Amino acid sequence: MNATRAKKSSDKRRLILDAAVKVFARQGFHACRVSDIADEAGVAYGLVYHYFASKDKVLDTLFLERWNVMLDTIREVDAQDMPVREKLGAIASFIVDSYRHDPDLMKVIIVEVTRAANSFGQTHLGQIREAYDLIAQIVIKAQAEGSFKDDIDAGFAAMAFYGAIEQMLTGWIFGLLPADEEHFERAKWLVVETVCGGLETTTVGNTLP
C-alpha cells in the first residue's frame, strides 16, 4: 500500500529530525557531526542524505516547520477581536508554551537561527522579520484605536516585546532562571504586564515629576 510506504518513509525522516533537535540542542549545530545525528536516530550515516540535501537543510526544515506555526498563530490572534493586552498575552503564551512543550527545539531555533546573524539568521531573515512585522502591526492598530501611546515607534516596541520574551527563554536555556510550571506562567504575565504597562495610555508616571 502507498500509505504504509509513505508512512514508513516519513517515520525515518521524522526520526532524523527529532534526533537532530536533540543533537543540535546538546552540542550546537557547528560542533556536532552529521554522524552524531545518524547515531542518535539509530540510522546509517547515508540515510540523512537520502532525506536531506545537506546538514544545513536539516536545520532549515526544523526552523521553518516551527516558525510557520508561530506566524500562523500570530496572524490568527491578530485577526480576532480582542484587546491588545490579550493579543500580546496570547503570543507570549504561545512562545512560552512552545518552549515548555519542546525546550530543545526552541533552543535550537533561537540559538542557531533567530540570533545567528552570520549564518541561518541571514538565510531566514524574511521569515524572522515577518514575525516582528506582525507584532508591529498589532501595536500600530492599538495606537490607532488609542489604547497604546503613539509616540513610540511600533517597530521598536515590537522588538522590545519580542526581545523580552526571547530573553526569558534564553534565561531558561542557560539555566539562569527557574524553569518550573509556575515560573512559565509568571513569565508570560510579567512580559505582558511590563511591556503593556509601559505602552498603554492609561499609564500615569512619567519622566519628570
Q: Which does 46 bind (CB under 5 to 8 A by kind): its own copies, DNA, none?
A: DNA
Please, what sign has the CA dihedral across residues 104, 87, 157, 200? negative
Q: Check residue 46 for interaction with DNA (CB under 7 A).
A: yes
In angstroms, give the least distance from the CB of 110 to DNA. 21
Q: Which one of 41-49, 110-118, 125-133, 168-176 is the stretch in contact with DNA (CB under 7 A)? A: 41-49
**Residue among 17, 175, 145, 172 nearest 84 (CA):** 145
Of the CA atoms within 13 Å of residue 166, those in its CB half-sphere come to 17
Contact residues toward its own copies (CB under 8 A) are 26-28, 30-31, 85, 107, 110-111, 115-119, 121, 125, 128-129, 132, 152-153, 155-157, 159-168, 170-171, 173-174, 176-177, 183, 186-187, 190-191, 193-205, 207
Q: For DNA, which residue of 14, 28, 50, 83 counts as binding (CB under 7 A)?
A: 50
When the beta carbons of 51 and 128 are compared against its own copies, the nearer one is 128
In angstroms, give the least distance from the CB of 112 to DNA. 13
Using alpha carbons only, give the angle 130, 135, 139 rounded to the nearest 5 degrees.
140
E strand spans, 93-170? none
When the beta carbons of 73 and 119 are compared against its own copies, the nearer one is 119
Q: Which one of 51-59, 86-94, 128-136, 151-159 is the stretch in contact with DNA (CB under 7 A)? A: 51-59
Q: For DNA, which residue of 18, 26, 49, 170 counts as binding (CB under 7 A)?
A: 49
Q: Check residue 28 for interaction with DNA (CB under 7 A).
A: no
Distance (Å, whole) CA 62 – CA 54: 13
Distance (Å, whole) CA 117 – CA 163: 15
**Residue among 125, 130, 105, 104 nearest 115 (CA):** 125
200 φ, ψ (degrees, to nearest 5): -65, 150
**Residue among 99, 90, 96, 88 nearest 135 (CA):** 88
Binding residues (CB under 7 A) for DNA: these are 1-2, 4-5, 8-9, 12, 32-35, 43-47, 49-50, 54-56
